[in-house]
């Protein structure tokens, strides 16, 4: 019996993707137990395990969907737990654990290095501890600067102690692309404030670019010298932000329930803010439930794409969509291989992107249809699809249905948030048994497409 147990543990230690998934699951469960304690809620009662699990999943998955108002319901203890879960989820469980090891001067072993390498998508264990230190230091530095900028507005509005606390909380929440707020109405009160909105936007964008991109930009300095990955991330991020801003501005400018009554500059700022937020951070500066259906559908697309690989963001990832776009352009041009910035993209990368799109799209569709069956007649399907995509993309925006969902629906959304953070492909690879590579090559078969 003991030998079988040891064998299972040994096999598990050789499966980094599954171990990463389990590490996130463990943090979520521990967070749920803490948030379920009576001392976590202002009314002195336990919130209930399902709602505690939902909140913990949302925080660790850096999502932002909530079943209660974060500012009003949770005590300082509960808010600190949520903030720690956000920071762990944003950095990545293994990177966060490596920080503890460094603080206590513990040696980081080979297995831990392998897990950190897998989580940061570094592709090599060489220098992985140095990379981990870089990720931690850069993250804290950006969050510190963001907090300082927010203090210029929050301290005059809330006083010194509360202003500092609010600034730190929202800076970490924004950089980790979480979207949790403790103001009570997200950024609606600061919708036309350039400093607050601009700082939140900058933090979200920086968090969504990825640490590998920072390092590449710092070392090479010039766009033409950047890696293909960095170029695709930058081009896709800027393109999606601009497309989102322009279309939200056009679609909502005449909507009296959102931005019609604002000036041109204020409309542009709010549109840019909401476009940025779809990069997987669930803040809002206008009532999302009052957006036009066309705007909501646009945001569903942007949320599904999400941020970039090896970042604090979730979603399908900009690089995945970028590879497919460049592959399509190459095919239209008659090129035999996918080309991006005069570099060939390997066929296995293109196939992986196609697989990820199919798996992620299938997950969102299955969960959305399941919710529509469970919640028959209660909500419009577009609102359900919006909620599901927001959960998968770890965005946290909602059309006002989260707290009205049944417990079963909340569990499904919690699962979707978990899958969106760890990646459904990562989980699938972790659960599959590794098979030996076959040397058999089959003859080609012609298939008529198009």
Query: Residue-wise pLDDT tens for the chain (450 aa)?
Result: 555 545 544 454 555 666 667 777 888 999 999 999 999 999 999 999 999 999 999 998 888 889 999 999 999 999 999 999 998 888 776 566 566 555 556 665 555 555 555 555 555 555 566 767 777 888 889 999 999 999 999 999 999 999 999 999 999 999 988 889 999 889 989 999 999 999 999 999 998 888 788 888 888 888 888 999 999 999 999 999 999 999 999 999 999 999 999 999 999 999 999 999 987 888 999 999 899 999 999 999 999 998 887 777 778 888 899 999 999 999 898 888 899 998 999 998 898 889 889 989 999 999 999 999 999 889 999 999 999 999 998 888 999 899 899 999 999 999 898 888 776 555 555 445 455 555 677 777 777 766
Hey, what's the torsion of the CAs at 161, 164, 170, 173, to 10 degrees? -100
250-280 burial: b if 16+ Cβ within 10 Å, else e:
ebbeeeeebbeebeeebbbbbbbbbbbbbbb
Tokens encoding 19: 């171990």
Region for 339 from its dihedrals, namely left if φ exceeds 0, alpha if ψ lies in -120 to 50, beta otherwise: beta
Question: 209 vs 17, 88, 119, CA distance in Å?
Answer: 22, 18, 15
Distance CA 147, CA 139 (A): 12
Collapsed DSSP state (helix, strand, coil) of residue 338 = strand
Amino acid 96: pLDDT: 61
Classify each residue of 107-125 as buried b or exposed e, where b means 16 or more C-beta atoms within 10 Å of its C-beta: ebeeebbbbbbbbbebeee
At 431 the pLDDT is 47
């Amino acid at each position: 019996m003991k030998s079988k147990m040891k064998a299972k543990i040994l096999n598990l230690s050789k499966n980094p993707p599954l171990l990463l998934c389990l590490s996130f699951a463990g943090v979520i469960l521990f967070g749920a137990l803490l948030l379920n304690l009576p001392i976590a809620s202002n009314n002195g009662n336990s919130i209930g395990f399902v709602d505690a699990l939902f909140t913990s999943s949302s925080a660790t998955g850096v999502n932002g969907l909530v079943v209660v108002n974060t500012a009003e319901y949770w005590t300082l203890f509960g808010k600190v737990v949520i903030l720690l879960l956000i920071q762990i989820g944003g950095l990545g469980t293994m990177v966060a654990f490596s920080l503890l090891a460094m603080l206590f001067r513990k040696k980081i072993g080979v297995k831990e290095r392998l897990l950190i390498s897998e989580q940061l998508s570094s592709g090599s264990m060489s220098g992985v501890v140095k990379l981990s230190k870089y990720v931690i230091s850069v993250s804290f530095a950006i969050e510190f600067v963001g907090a300082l900028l927010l203090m210029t507005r929050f301290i005059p509005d809330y006083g010194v102690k509360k202003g500092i606390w609010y600034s730190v909380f929202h800076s970490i929440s924004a950089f980790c692309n979480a979207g949790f707020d403790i103001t009570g109405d997200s950024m609606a009160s600061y919708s036309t404030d350039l400093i607050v909105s601009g700082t939140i936007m900058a933090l979200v964008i920086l968090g969504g670019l990825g640490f590998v991109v920072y390092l590449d930009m710092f070392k090479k300095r010039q766009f033409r010298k950047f890696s293909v990955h960095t170029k695709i991330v930058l081009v896709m991020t800027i393109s999606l932000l601009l497309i989102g801003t322009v279309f939200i501005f056009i679609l909502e400018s005449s909507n009296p329930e959102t931005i019609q009554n604002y000036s041109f500059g204020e409309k542009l700022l709010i549109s840019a803010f909401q476009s940025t937020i779809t990069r997987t951070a669930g803040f809002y500066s206008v009532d999302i439930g009052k957006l036009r259906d066309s705007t909501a559908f646009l945001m569903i697309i942007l949320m599904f794409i999400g941020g970039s690989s090896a970042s604090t963001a979730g979603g399908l990832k900009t690089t995945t969509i970028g590879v497919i776009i460049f592959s399509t352009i190459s095919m239209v041009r008659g090129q035999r291989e996918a080309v991006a910035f005069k570099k060939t993209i390997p066929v296995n990368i293109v196939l992986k992107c196609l697989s990820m799109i199919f798996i992620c799209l299938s997950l969102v569709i299955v969960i959305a249809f399941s919710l529509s069956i469970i919640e028959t007649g209660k909500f419009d399907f577009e609102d359900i699809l919006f909620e599901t995509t927001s959960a998968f993309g770890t965005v946290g925006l909602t059309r006002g249905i989260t707290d009205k969902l049944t417990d079963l629906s909340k569990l499904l959304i919690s699962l979707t948030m978990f899958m969106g953070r760890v990646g459904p492909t990562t989980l699938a690879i972790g659960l599959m048994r590794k098979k030996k590579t076959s040397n058999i090559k089959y003859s080609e078969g012609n298939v008529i497409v198009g």
